[in-house]
Structure 1
Amino acid sequence: MITQKAFWQNGLQIALKKADICHRDSSLVSQAKNNSTSPKLDKIILESLPTPPPNGWELKKLGEILSNLESGKRPKGGVDNYTQGALSLGGEHIDNKNGFIKLESLKYVPLEFYKNYALQNKAIIKENDILICKDGALSGKIALVRKELTNQKAMINEHIFLLRCENTIEQKYIFYYLHSSDGQKSLQSKVTGSAQGGINQESLKQILIPLPPLEA
């Protein structure tokens, strides 16, 4: 007999696989035009999910789901003088339209700087990590790290939040939710400040995520 946990995990895996395929379909993604996400893509993902229980999915705070939420650093004086080393990713490297990393106009930090953070296991980017712009005009932009950084050393700078879960299925699901129209509205609702506003860590933790009961 299949358990409830296995049922939801299987359903989420199917939905996430469809979502990955849709994100790779440039003709579908292009329909988003100037919008942050494609309504058609949102619909495909949502229709692929298992039917919620009668009382709906439990709403959990993002901070209760994540195992890791942090920002990064750059060397004192910035990174303009470095042409090699480990990649330093910021808001300009996030393509919010399709949720991918853009490896253009690359910036670097010295390897010793990178290694110091790697020893602390801080700010270092891994596959399936969620990256969110935290301040300025780019606040709320989001991407999922896929295979773009295979065999490359990379870390985030101080303008990015890195989100990670213990469960990869949950992690991908959170990305697709936050990249959806509803998720983007939730992120934008947490932006505070005027011209150079942003999202602080505590506000981000308060975002409610409709999460299937994987623990049952």
Structure 2
Amino acid sequence: MPAARESLLDAAYKALARRSWSAVRMVDVAAAAGVSRQTLYNEFGSKEGLARALVRREADGYLAGVDRVLAAHTDARERLAATAEWMTSAARGNPLVRAMLTGCWSERLPMPTLAAVPSTSAVPAQRRADGPLPSPADLVSLVRDRAVAAVTGAGATKAEAVELARACELVVRLSLSCVAAPPGQGGVAELVRQALPRPVR
């Protein structure tokens, strides 16, 4: 029931924008999605299952956004600058993404355990959500590895590939620091341009 699942996740996300997770009621999420409460429980099993699925969806959406931005530029420096800008703005605009990246979960947010939980769900998407969720370190590695793959040319030497990996790690960590302490004039992209070694292949 993919359409119902997405509607329920959308409803849960909207509810979270209005009240803390502890005050979000399953019956209200189901009503907002236009499905029965039984459908909600069939899909997610519990409020914890809904929370895990919501966090998983936001993590997947964040990584898909990173992929889109990396693919939108051809120049390596601009790819990394645009990615840093996007990473920071996406985290500022989405409290779940911000919490996943920083590990700072407020009392308003669901905080599912990162470890896998036993799953009895017949729903493949929920079984995936019940698997391990990405930690901040996992997300840093996933974004860094995507950036490395996007900027490393086929003819790069081993030494060049190592330098590019360092540059990508720097960009990701600089971006994360800007989530907590937004930069001034010029923004994140300009900071990245100044910090990157020249030339970036």
Query: Structure 2-normalised TM-score?
Result: 0.30
| Bigger helix share | 2
Structure label with greater radius of gyration: 2
TM-score using structure 1 length: 0.28
The structure where strand makes up a greater share of residues is 1
